Amino acid sequence: MAVTNEALAAYGSVKIESAGYGDPHQLISMLMEGAISRLVNAKIALREKRYADRGRNIQQAVSIINGLRDCLDLDRGGELADRLNALYIYMVSNLLGALMDKDDVKVEEVRGLMAEIYGGWAEIPVDVRSTFKR
């Protein structure tokens, strides 16, 4: 499973190293959690008028989402992979637009979408998770 170094760096090396790349499901879960966390931090930073922190958190979320997109197997993933790819592109576009805004409507929309994807991902049964290719 290919994850860009930029996305791994954006998430933080401590948790990634502890994952040991042994469990693809766990790695993707951690990336999703990282994106959600960065988006929450961006909203807090705007409220506190820490604009540089807000921008940095949005940029890190974009890197993580691009990393998730890079993990998609568009050849074998069928319609689901295609839809996730399109959704990730939409999320990145919204976040790049949000960098120019002083309002976090777009950031909250992307956070909600990522939380929904994460919720579905977390519901994958353990016995199915073990069949993921590495």
Mean pLDDT of the chain: 83
Quote the pLDDT of residue 131. Answer: 65
Quote the pLDDT of residue 133. Answer: 55
Q: Can you give the residue ranges of every domain in the chain? A: 22-122
Name residues whose C-beta falls within 8 Å of residue 18's C-beta, 6 or more positions apart in sequence. Answer: none
Quote the pLDDT of residue 47. Answer: 94
* Domain boundaries 22-122, CATH class: mainly alpha
Quote the pLDDT of residue 124. Answer: 81
Name residues whose C-beta falls within 8 Å of residue 61's C-beta, 6 or more positions apart in sequence. Answer: 10, 35, 38, 39, 42, 95, 110
- Give the Cα separation of 75 and 58 in Å (integer): 29
Per-residue pLDDT tens digits for 32-89? 999 999 999 999 999 999 999 999 999 999 999 999 998 888 888 888 889 999 999 9
Q: Looking at 11-15, 61-65, 73-77, 99-103, which range is the least confident one?
A: 11-15
Q: Which whole-number Å values give the CA distances from 131 to 23, 45, 126, in the listed order? A: 10, 40, 9
Question: What is the maximal distance between C-alpha atoms in the chain?
Answer: 46
